[in-house]
């Protein structure tokens, strides 16, 4: 790799940051059960400490997404949370409301047939927006489990209008620096129809809500045959791509480590972003890169470190695409040479450039190895094990 390519990678990585999910540091599981880890975070302050470790070692994870009902209770001191984040060098990132786990939401939240339940859901969304303002967060990330399981269960058009009304109300409550990110999912837990099932539905609802609403693309929320990078390109061209939830999947929403199943897809998504940046950098500067993964078998912190390192690797590879040569091949209709430009960048070993970038910023050459040598996991595992015992949380199996 020559000096010019190394410079491209360094410049790209300087502008690339990834938001970590608080829930990725806690014990999580499937609908069947959980496999518990002694070092898993117990509360929001543990999650902040763990996120601080990842950021201090990678230099690219300055934000921590929070899930309102999982991270906050009425007794949680909001300012103490913000202060704790600042102490370890991170910020509170996107606010994620929860309108799917309570019994009231069996038939939906903002699209529920019961007006009182719709109001309860909307009140929670508005309170989450207010929480974001108190914490200095600029993003409110909205995912809804709303939908139906059987034909005729409810009126699809009524539910659509209910979503439009609720999102407009949320938009009106935003501070000038806040944005709504509207996520979509084709199925699960609803299996007949999901109210926001694809990017087109999310796009229409976001545009109806107002100019501070964009679409959030979760890479796991697609059927296997879908071309995610095409969706990304369209949303970029419409100036409506707000951010990502990065993960990977073999079947559907598997929440596997980014790049573990299809690293070339990760590269192709980043290629579309770099392509846009060549022509209109303003469209990509505001994209929020977020992780949404559930690591039930991998160690929590190590999995987040691995994710950040993989994201940097494929973002760096995409930065090496030679757009001049690519455009020339496209102009003369040379399909083979155009594809080879992508393949050359994808196959380039960027290890040395990544190490140089890290060392130039006082970071460890290998963040994962540095973490394993730090003793952090052993220390917090012992402390958290004792705390669980005092709190009566136990360490045995439990069901989700």
For the beta carbon of residue 144, count every other beta carbon within 10 angstroms: 25
Q: Is 90 left (phi over 0), alpha (psi -120 to 50) or beta?
A: beta
- Residue 218 phi, psi (nearest 5): -90, 120
How would you write the pLDDT of the chain (400 residues) with one tens digit per residue? 888 999 999 999 999 999 999 999 999 877 778 888 999 999 999 999 999 999 999 999 999 999 999 999 888 999 999 999 999 999 999 999 999 999 999 999 999 999 999 999 999 999 999 999 999 999 999 999 999 999 999 999 999 999 999 999 999 999 999 999 999 999 999 999 999 999 999 999 999 999 999 999 999 999 999 999 999 999 999 999 999 999 999 998 999 999 999 999 999 999 999 999 988 888 888 899 999 998 889 999 999 999 999 999 999 999 999 999 999 999 999 999 999 999 999 999 999 999 999 999 999 999 999 999 999 999 999 999 999 999 988 654 333 3
3-state helix, strand, coil in the chain (%, to 5): 50, 10, 35
- Residue 184 phi, psi (nearest 5): -135, 160
What are the sequence ranges of the domains in the chain?
3-391
> How far is Cα 368 from Cα 365, in angstroms, rounded to an integer?
9
CA neighbor of 152 nearest in space, from 201, 193, 189: 193
For residues 364-378, b (16+ Cβ closer than 10 Å) or e, as one string? bebbbebbbeeebbe
> How far is Cα 203 from Cα 332, in angstroms, rounded to an integer?
35
Q: What is the CATH number of domain 3-391?
A: 3.20.20.150
pTM passes above 0.85: yes
> How far is Cα 91 from Cα 85, in angstroms, rounded to an integer?
6
């Amino acid at each position: 790799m020559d000096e010019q390519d190394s410079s491209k990678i360094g410049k790209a990585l300087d502008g690339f940051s990834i938001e970590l999910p608080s829930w990725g540091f806690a014990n999580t599981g499937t609908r069947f059960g959980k496999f518990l880890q002694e070092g898993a975070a117990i509360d929001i302050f543990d999650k902040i400490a763990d996120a601080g470790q990842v950021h201090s070692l990678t230099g690219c994870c300055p934000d921590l997404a929070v899930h309102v009902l999982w991270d906050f209770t009425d007794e949680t001191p909001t300012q103490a949370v913000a202060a704790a984040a600042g102490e370890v060098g991170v910020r509170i990132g996107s606010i994620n409301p929860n309108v799917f786990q309570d019994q009231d939401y069996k038939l939906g939240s903002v699209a529920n047939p019961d007006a009182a339940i719709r109001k309860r859901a909307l009140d929670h969304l508005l309170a989450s927006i207010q929480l974001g303002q108190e914490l200095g967060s600029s993003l409110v990330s909205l995912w809804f489990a709303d939908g139906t399981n059987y034909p005729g269960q409810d009126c699809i058009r009524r539910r659509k209008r209910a979503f439009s009304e609720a999102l407009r109300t949320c938009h009106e409550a935003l501070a000038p620096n806040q944005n709504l990110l509207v996520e979509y999912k084709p199925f699960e837990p609803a299996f007949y129809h999901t109210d926001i099932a694809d990017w087109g539905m999310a796009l229409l609802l976001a545009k109806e809500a107002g100019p501070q609403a964009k679409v959030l693309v979760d890479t796991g929320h697609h059927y296997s045959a879908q071309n995610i990078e095409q969706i990304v390109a369209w949303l970029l061209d419409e100036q409506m791509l707000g951010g990502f939830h990065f993960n990977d999947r073999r079947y559907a929403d598997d929440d596997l480590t980014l790049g573990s199943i299809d690293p070339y897809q990760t590269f192709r998504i980043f290629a579309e972003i770099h392509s846009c940046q060549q022509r209109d950098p303003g469209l990509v500067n505001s994209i929020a890169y977020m992780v949404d993964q559930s690591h039930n078998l991998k160690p929590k912190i190590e999995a987040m470190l691995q994710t950040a390192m993989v994201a940097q690797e494929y973002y760096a590879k995409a930065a090496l695409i030679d757009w001049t040569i690519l455009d020339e091949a496209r102009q003369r209709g040379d399909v083979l040479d155009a594809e080879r430009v992508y393949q050359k960048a994808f196959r380039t070993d960027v290890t040395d450039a990544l190490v140089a970038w890290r060392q130039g910023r006082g970071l460890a050459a290998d963040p994962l190895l540095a973490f394993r040598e730090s003793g952090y996991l052993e220390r917090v595992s012992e402390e958290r094990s004792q705390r669980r015992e005092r709190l009566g949380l136990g360490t045995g199996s439990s069901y989700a």
